[in-house]
Structure 1
């Protein structure tokens, strides 16, 4: 998957703790979360599962979308994930390739 500005949601289990982030390289950033390469919120709560992402053409648009999602109620974020990924599958294999 080519590097594009992307908004994403990580979790530790279905309907568990949620983290909304934005990155210019989704594969690298999700790998950092999965490998606990950097201390912080996702490391502390073991948020290793990518359950939703949305690519954008421009970094500014992605950043604006991330800020908007961070203001959303938790239930709205759950509904967003379940609309696209009802089984809460980890999408790592989809982005990481073979």
Structure 2
């Protein structure tokens, strides 16, 4: 899950290369703003999960996208209590 600088917008997505995807979101937010993440400047990582299977990852993404904001906030807080940006902590 990524957010904007003010932590007002949450974006959920799946990738097999998290650093590359964060860079793409950042580039789009500065340049074309064609994607949701780019339009709303969502490139600050707050929460992530790892899966061995793309099918499981996609199923989890779909599940999380159905959640209300409050439930997403509780999930983020359980993993990252201070809502620190984790961009430089992921490999």
Same fold per TM (> 0.5)?
yes
The TM-score bracket by the shorter chain reads 0.7 to 0.9
Q: What does 1:1-98 correspond to in 2, within 5 Å?
A: 9-13=1-5, 15-36=7-28, 39-96=34-91
Q: Name the Cα RMSD after superposition.
A: 1.6
- The TM-score with structure 1 as length reference comes to 0.81
The alignment covers a number of residue pairs equal to: 88
Larger proportion of strand: 1
- The TM-score with structure 2 as length reference comes to 0.87
- 2:5–2:41 Cα contact (<8 Å) kept: no
Task: List, as ranges, runs of 4+ consecutive aligned residues in structure 1 with deviation greater than 4 Å.
Answer: none
Gaps of 5+ in 2: none
